[in-house]
């Protein structure tokens, strides 16, 4: 399990065995290994990890209009708790924070 944060250091998602989950545990995406990206539940580009643990959206990603197919819903993994704030990394050129509910 890996905590993932936005640029401000807020925990926005968790990765468990290649599956992306919201902080409440809901399955919201999957990791695509060859491209090193996460896709949403419909199979489209969601974001990627930069700086070790920051899940962000690459504005000019070459994958944003490609459908990788649906990997299915694996259900909830539950809540792993709040790891606290990881600290801000500031603005990263070419990226923006994700809005994950």
Q: Domains of the chain: which residue ranges?
A: 2-97
Query: Are the C-beta atoms of residues 14 and 5 closer than 8 Å to each other?
Result: no
pLDDT digits (tens, 9 = 90+) for 7-16: 999 999 999 9
Beta bridge partners of 3: 14
Prediction pTM value: 0.92
Q: What was the pLDDT predicted at 35?
A: 97
pLDDT digits (tens, 9 = 90+) for 33-91: 999 999 999 999 999 999 999 999 999 999 999 999 999 999 899 888 889 999 999 99
């Amino acid at each position: 399990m890996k905590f993932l944060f936005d640029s401000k250091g807020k925990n926005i998602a968790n990765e468990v065995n290649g599956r992306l989950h919201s902080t409440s545990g809901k399955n919201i995406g999957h990791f695509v290994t060859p491209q090193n990206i996460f896709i949403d539940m419909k199979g489209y580009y969601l974001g990627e990890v930069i700086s070790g643990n920051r899940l962000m959206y690459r504005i000019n990603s070459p994958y944003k209009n490609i459908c990788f197919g649906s990997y299915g819903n694996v259900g909830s993994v539950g809540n792993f708790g709040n790891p606290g704030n990881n600290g801000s990394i500031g603005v990263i050129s070419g990226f923006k924070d994700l809005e994950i509910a």
